[in-house]
Amino acid sequence: MTQAGRRVRLLASVLAALAVGCSSRGRSPGGNAGRTIVEASPRAVMGTECVLKAVVPADRVGEARAALKRAEQALRRLEAVMSVHLADSALSRFNAAPARREIRLPAELTDLLRRAASFTELSGGAFDVTCGPVVRLWKRCAKAGRQPSEEELRQATARVGMRHLSITERGVTKLVAGVFVDLGAIAKGCGVDRAVEVLRGSPAVVGAMVNVGGDLRCFGTKPDGGSWRVGVQHPFREALCGALVLRDAAVATSGDYRRFVVIAGRRYSHIVDPRTGRPVEATHSVTVVSLPTAGKAPSATDADAWATTLSVMGPKGLALLEGRSDLEALIITGTPARPEVHMTDGFRRLLAPGTGINLE
Instruction: Give the 3-state secondary structure of residue 254.
Output: strand
Percent of the chain with pLDDT over 90: 82
Q: Which of 254, 204, 198 is nearest to 75 (CA)?
A: 198
pLDDT score for 316: 97
For the cut 90, the answer to whether the pLDDT of residue 10 exceeds it is: no
Q: With the CA atoms of 87, 93, 99 and 100 taken in that order, what torsion angle do they form, in degrees rounded to the nearest 10? A: 180
For the cut 90, the answer to whether the pLDDT of residue 332 exceeds it is: yes
Q: Which residues of 98-109 are buried (b: 16+ CB within 10 A; e: fewer)?
A: eeeeebebbeeb
pLDDT score for 258: 66
pLDDT of 190-233, one tens digit each? 999 999 999 999 999 999 999 999 999 999 999 999 999 999 99
pLDDT of 76-126, one tens digit each? 999 999 999 999 999 999 999 999 999 999 999 999 999 999 999 999 999
Percent of the chain with pLDDT over 70: 90
Q: What are phi and psi of 345, to 5 degrees?
A: -60, -40
CATH number of 1-360: 3.10.520.10
Rounded to the nearest integer, the mean pLDDT of the chain is: 90
Q: Which residue has the higher pLDDT, 73 or 255?
A: 73
Q: Which residue has the higher pLDDT, 264 or 138?
A: 138
pLDDT of 134-183, one tens digit each? 999 998 998 899 999 999 999 999 999 999 999 999 999 999 999 999 99
Lowest mean pLDDT among 111-120, 136-145, 325-334, 337-346: 136-145
Q: Which residue has the higher pLDDT, 259 or 314?
A: 314
The full set of domain ranges for the chain reads: 1-360
CB-based contact 159:54 (threshold 8 Å): no
Lowest mean pLDDT among 99-108, 179-188, 255-264, 287-296: 255-264
- How far apart are alpha carbons 291 and 155 in whole angstroms? 40
User: First CA to last CA across the chain, in angstroms?
Assistant: 29
For the cut 70, the answer to whether the pLDDT of residue 11 exceeds it is: no
